[in-house]
Amino acid sequence: MSESVHGHEILRLLLETPEPLTQAELRSIAAREFGADARYHTCSAAEMTLDDLIVFLMGRGKLSESDGRLIVHRREICNHD
């Protein structure tokens, strides 16, 4: 079993791409980077799938979707690792 990946790593991946990604593109990159069965956590939640994490981040206003592309809201991201 792999270690849990912090949600900041997913936000970092999204911020590092030149163009906003679709959820499918993010799933593909995350699977390559962290493994297909990776689990994710944040400061206040744990044991999430990537889909769970996306919903969580959207609910916290850190992420939204526009025209099928994921948009990170930088001002909503906490500044710790």
Q: How far apart are CA 71 and CA 19, in angstroms?
A: 10
Return the pLDDT at 75: 82
Q: pLDDT (tens digit, 0 to 9) for every residue of the chain, 81 residues total?
A: 468 999 999 999 999 999 999 999 999 999 999 999 999 999 899 999 999 999 999 999 999 999 999 999 988 777 665
**Structural domains in the chain plus CATH codes:** 5-76 (1.10.10)
